[in-house]
Amino acid sequence: MSMNSSAPNQNTFAITTPLYYVNDLPHIGSAYTTIAADVVSRFYRLQGQPVLMITGTDEHGQKIQRTAEALGRSPQEHCDKIVEGFQALWDQLNIRCDRFIRTTSKRHEAIVREFFQRVWDNDDIYLGWQQGWYCVSCEEFKEERELLEDHYCPLHPTKQAEWRDEQNYFFRLSNYQGKLEALYQERPDFIRPDIRRNEVLSFVSRGLQDFSISRVNLDWGFPVPTDPDHTLYVWFDALLGYVTALVDANQEPTLENALAQWWPINLHLIGKDILRFHAVYWPAMLMSAGVPVPGGVFGHGFLTKDGQKMGKTLGNIIDPYELVGRYGSDAVRYYFLKEIEFGRDGDFNETRFVNILNADLANDLGNLLNRTLKMVHKYCEGYVPAVSNDDIATDDLLKSKGLTLGQEVADAYTSLSFSQACEAILAMIRAGNKFIDDQAPWALYKQGKQAEVEQVLYTVLEAVRLAAYLLSPIIPNISQAVYQQLGFEINFNSPESLTAYPFTVHAHWGALPAKQALGTPEPVFRRLELPT
Ligand code: MSP
């Protein structure tokens, strides 16, 4: 088997977010990727797979050094402070990461040195001369034609790129053009979605140039192992954070240990602006070091606010702390995944946010459960009606939807089509509301048709249960409230608890046990209101 085609582990699932720069506290863009990675991790955990979700911080480089200086802090002091802010936000968003890697850690330095040595021994590093325009905010050299007038960066329109003319070490990326092209060919889904894949294919087909991997006149970073007068380029060090993250806390930080269990990582989730680093530079670096490449890279789109690009100078930044503080973690998670097709650019608008949450979760889902439970308490003494699933016809409107929903939603999660997963689940919930209106169990009850009443109520409760289970990667707290009111003792936030509720049973129609005692009906999601 060629190195390119070595498939990632099928029985375990390792996923990464980018390692975020700590020049500032996390913004909504970092929250977006991290929420998505958490949802994917939860989906695989729900299926009983061992999962390793990796996030962390990218702490070296000129950008961080300058930010720290401007604030009168030492770079390390600054990083330590900002990192706390990241960890706090992930907690608030109910994100469960298994590894949090900081690129300033000692163990990371050991991995970087060993990796550098392998690439060096492979003769892929040489000393050369670098001239060009460098955007410190991107930490990237830019072609003159990529920049705006007066060398302002299009991604950071208030920052001018700086001219550099210095000796740097280079990585022989040009050696890997053919190998990369073969990789993209052999693994068409290595870069997703297609629009990103095409971008990379066209970039690579224009010819790859070696890129510089060291800087002079910069202290904040690891020294180049073979020449301490140079500091390693922040991206060379940062990408390797994904490898260091795999070393167990009690293990020696060696490449052998790092690569023993979870490598190749199944999926790198990133934003579209850092695609080249992940889909071109990174696999080439790995090939050079003789390490198999990861399973794939998915580049999501950019968020705007009220249709406008966000920026500090524009003063229209969405503060993720404020958002989650005001509306809660499930609401924030749901909005970004349901409302924006993953892979495309998307917009945040607070009125739409409130309307969608109220319509989908408070009205459609919450009311359906609430009214049904109340009827079960009234007509069936608060127990799941003793209806056998076989009694419900397979062409029953809800059951027939429910029978295929699990597979449909699993496929959607697997292809990272979160909004599609939500839509499919919502369609069943809406059908449930229509079903109960049409069947009118209150009228059936008055007519003394107890068996029919029980069948209708069972069917609706089962539909709500299935919906809650399938939505649990996105809105774990609401799913939990639903499950508890249905009489289950689950904790969707605890992987151990999930083993008693396997996907093979609960993602399918018919898992609600007859005669189970039901909880007290309470709203699972309180209506949101816009701040006045
Ligand atoms: N440190 C590098 C990543 C190194 S990975 C080994 C980095 N960090 S970052 O903090 O600047 O960016 C993190 C992520 O935020 C990127 O994936 C980027 O795409 C994403 N976003 C930044 N602004 C964004 C939006 N407005 N919308 C969506 N995501 C955006 O790059």
- Helix %, strand %, coil % for the chain, to 5? 50, 15, 35
The finding on whether 510 has its CB within 6 A of some atom of ligand 1 is: no
Give how far Cα 516 sits from Cα of 254, 271, 461, 524, Å. 52, 45, 12, 19
**Predicted confidence (pLDDT) at residue 6 exceeds the cutoff of 80:** no
104 CA distance to ligand 1 middle (Å): 19
At 373 the pLDDT is 98
Residue of the nearest CA to atom 14 in ligand 1? 30
58 lines ligand 1 (CB under 6 A): yes
Cβ(273) – ligand 1 distance below 6 Å: yes
Distance CA 365, CA 425 (A): 10
Ligand 1 centroid from CA 300, angstroms: 10
Contact 372, 457 (CB under 8 A): yes
- The residue assigned the tokens 């009168």 is 72
- What sign has the CA pseudo-torsion 270, 288, 242, 44? positive
What DSSP letter does each residue of 316-338 carry, written as one string?
Answer: ----HHHHHHHH-HHHHHHHHHH
Q: Does the structure show a pLDDT above 70 at 32?
A: yes
Residue 2: pLDDT over 50: no
Ligand 1 contact, 392 CB (< 6 A): no
Q: Give the separation between CA 189 and CA 322, rounded to whole angstroms.
A: 37
Parallel/antiparallel/unpaired status of strands 267-271 and 13-21: parallel
Using the mean position of ligand 1's atoms as its centre, give its distance from the Cα of residue 29 in Å.
6
Q: Where do the DSSP E strands lie in 285-399?
A: 297-300, 303-305, 308-309, 346-348
pLDDT tens figures, 43-89: 999 999 999 999 999 999 999 999 999 999 999 999 999 999 999 99
Whether 311 shows a pLDDT value over 90: the answer reads no
DSSP category for residue 361: I
Pairing between β-strand 346-348 and β-strand 303-305 as defined by DSSP bridges:
parallel
Ligand 1 center–CA 60 separation, angstroms: 15
Quick one: pLDDT at residue 317? 87
Percent of the chain with pLDDT over 70: 98
Predicted pLDDT of residue 157: 84
Which tokens is 197 given?
A: 């894949």
- Determine the pLDDT at residue 3: 47
Where does 353-438 show beta strands of DSSP type E? none
pLDDT for residue 1 is more than 80: no
Cα-to-centroid distance, 330 and ligand 1 (Å): 22
pLDDT of 334 > 90? The answer is: yes
The pLDDT tens digits for 124-148 are: 999 999 999 999 999 899 988 889 9
Over range 298-305, report the average pLDDT: 96
* CB of residue 316 inside a 6 A radius of ligand 1: no
Residue nearest to atom 17 of ligand 1 (CA): 271
Q: Is 65 a pocket residue for ligand 1 (Cβ < 6 Å)?
A: no
What predicted TM-score, i.e. pTM, was given to this entire model? Answer: 0.96
Cα separation, 453 vs 443, whole angstroms: 9
Q: 43: how many CB neighbours lie within 10 A of its CB?
A: 25
User: How do residues 239-259 score in pLDDT, each as one tens digit?
Assistant: 999 999 999 999 999 999 999
Could you read off the pLDDT of 397-439 as tens digits, one per residue?
A: 899 999 999 999 999 999 999 999 999 999 999 999 999 999 9
Q: How far is the CA of 18 from the centre of ligand 1 (A)?
A: 7
Q: Say if residue 321's pLDDT is above 50.
A: yes
Indicate if ligand 1 lies below 6 Å from the C-beta of 16.
no
The pLDDT of residue 7: 63
The alpha carbon of 338 and the centre of ligand 1 are apart by a number of angstroms equal to 21
270 touches ligand 1 (CB under 6 Å): yes
The H-or-E segment that residue 92 falls in is helix 75-92
Q: How far apart are CA 429 and CA 418, in angstroms?
A: 17
| Average pLDDT of the residues in 381-388 | 92
Among 16, 19, 27, residue to substitute to test ligand 1 (most atoms within 8 Å of Cβ)? 27
Determine if ligand 1 sits within 6 Å of the CB of residue 18. yes
Q: Is 303 in the pocket of ligand 1 (CB under 6 A)?
A: yes
Cα of 20 from ligand 1 centre, angstroms = 7
Is pLDDT at 360 greater than 60 in this prediction?
A: yes
Question: For residue 27, which of 319, 253, 250 has the smallest C-alpha distance?
Answer: 319
Q: What is the pLDDT of residue 394?
A: 82
CA distance 5 to 14: 18
Q: Which of 215-224, 385-394, 484-493 has the lowest mean pLDDT?
A: 385-394
Q: Which of 25, 55, 58 to mutate to test the pocket of ligand 1 (most atoms within 8 A of CB)?
A: 58
Query: What burial letters (b/e) apply to 382-412, b meaning 16+ CB within 10 Å?
Result: eebbebebeebeeebbbbebbeebbebbbeb
- Ligand 1 contacts CB of residue 32 (under 6 A): yes
